[in-house]
Structure 1
Amino acid sequence: MKALVIVGVAAAVLGVGAVVTLASIDFLRAMAGDAARPAPSPRVSTGAPLDPAAQRYLDAVAAKDADAVASAFAPEGLVVDVGREIRGRDAIRQWAANEVIGGVYTLLDHTTRAGGVTMLVRFQPGGVGGFRADYSFDITDGLITKATLEYA
């Protein structure tokens, strides 16, 4: 009788392990499928249209184009990335290539303000995981002059 109980418990443990393993495999397949799909256009479907300079920034990241990210900024543009200052297109291009390109943005909300836009985004570095962030772009003559990035 004891042997049957042990066999029954062992079978139950193996069955649960198989279910957990299959669920994990399905989860990993779904993640891999998401990574293989192109990123959706990071546009907001409601409210005022996003400022074109901010949209160019998001589109450049989606296109994995560090040159286009830098081109969204004024020549002496400034990125304040959690207190760290990156100034000028060359430095912004390098920052984008090292820290932004390959990531995926989802624009959750935005507010147009005098001289710029504030955005709530979800950023997934490397296209996985991710976090929410508040981005504030000062914009003059169609170019970002200052981008302040704060992470939640």
Structure 2
Amino acid sequence: MPMQTAKLSDPAVRAFVTALNAHDEEAFRAALAPGATMADDGAERDLADWTAREIFDSHGHMEIEKEKAGGRSLVARYSNDAWGEMRTTWTFDVTDGKITRFETGQA
């Protein structure tokens, strides 16, 4: 059974997932620290380009299966219009309540 986003332990990660699932680009950017970075399947990506393509332009959605590391590591079913659905992992670095880096990849 999927985990409710509202029950995610880390407030910054909860804001990230909530904004992603609502397709709220402004709230999504607000969850990120200035200069935040990311990687996809181990490769560094341009955060603005990747999020536009993989989340907002393609209707990305995360269904959380479980969290670890105090809510900073997630296993989720991720779906978008480009790739369909896949099981993914997400890890987050958080400083002062903002996400400074996230990494995602297939689980």
Q: TM-score normalised by the shorter chain: which range applies?
A: 0.7 to 0.9
Partner of 2:5: 43
CA distance in structure 1 between the partners assigned to 2:74 and 2:54 by the alignment: 19
Check if 1:54 corresponds to 2:16: no
Please tell me whether Structure 1 or Structure 2 has the larger radius of gyration of its CA atoms. Answer: 1
**Higher helix residue share:** 1
Partner of 1:118: 73
Matched-pair identity in %:
29
- 1:56–1:44: structure 2 CA closer, same or farther, 3 Å change rule? closer
The residue identity in structure 2 corresponding to 1:69 is F
Q: Unaligned stretches of 5+ in structure 2? A: none
- 1:42–1:55: structure 2 CA closer, same or farther, 3 Å change rule? same
Report the number of matched residues: 104
**Higher strand residue share:** 2
Which runs of structure 2 are paired with 1:118-137 in the superposition (5 Å)?
118-126=73-81, 129-137=84-92
Partner of 1:3: none
Which residue of 12, 22, 27 maps to 1:68? 27
CA distance in structure 1 between the partners assigned to 2:31 and 2:80 by the alignment: 20
Structure 1 position 51, deviation (Å): 0.6
CA distance in structure 1 between the partners assigned to 2:63 and 2:34 by the alignment: 26
Partner of 2:52: 97
Contact 2:3/2:64 (CA < 8 Å) preserved in 1?
A: no
- 1:44–1:71: structure 2 CA closer, same or farther, 3 Å change rule? closer
Contact 2:6/2:14 (CA < 8 Å) preserved in 1?
A: no
User: Which aligned segments of 4 or more residues in structure 1 are displaced greater than 6 angstroms?
Assistant: none
Partner of 1:107: 64
Partner of 1:33: none
Structure 1 position 132, deviation (Å): 0.7
**With structure 1 as the length reference, what TM-score do the two structures score?**
0.59
